[in-house]
Amino acid sequence: MKNIRLVASTVFCVSVLALTACGDDSTTETAAPAPSSAAATTDAPATSEAPAAAGASDKEICEAAVANTKAFQKKTTDALAAGKTVGDADVKAAWSDLAGVLAVAEGGTSDVAKAAQAYVKELNTAAAAADTATAGESPALGKANADFNAACSAAGVETIG
């Protein structure tokens, strides 16, 4: 039962990250992670360049999320193609990494910045949870993701997903 729940949660987590991507590119790769109850066997978490300056524009915030999501998707696809597993540690690292990328919105007052701040809070909560399956199914995380996507769309940045 736990393996099935972990698979569903991991697929949900990857979907959440894929839906987070706001940008002009309308195609993305998706990968269904293999189940794993052991520690992850992939390399270091995917990272992406976040806008360096505080007060990043809405477009920069959304594009940073796109770059992060694409990096995670590529890392996941490469790991699975190499026969590695994607487990809890990878999911937690992805949540933490995306929260770090979106931290450039801290202190911003636009709808995108406010949505990103709320999403960062939920991503950090999920990353700190003992059970990624439960954390990935959190209605608060799902709502924060949807709100961030809607804010990016309203700001004129096409949301993928």
Q: What pLDDT is stored for residue 159 in this prediction?
A: 65
Report pLDDT digits (tens) over 10-50: 444 444 444 443 434 333 333 333 333 333 334 444 433 44
Q: What pLDDT is stored for residue 66 in this prediction?
A: 85
Report pLDDT digits (tens) over 64-82: 998 898 899 999 999 999 9
pTM for this structure?
A: 0.68
Confidence of residue 93 (pLDDT cuts 50, 70, 90): very high
Question: CA-CA distance, 30 to 15, in Å (whole number)?
Answer: 8
Cβ distance 132 to 92 under 8 Å?
Answer: yes
Site of tokens 């636009």:
110
Q: Which residues of 45-67 are buried (b: 16+ CB within 10 A; e: fewer)?
A: bbebebbeeeebbbbbbbbbbbb
Report pLDDT digits (tens) over 104-137: 999 999 999 999 999 999 999 999 999 998 999 9
- Exposed, middle or buried, 14 (CB in 10 Å: 0-12/13-18/19+)? buried
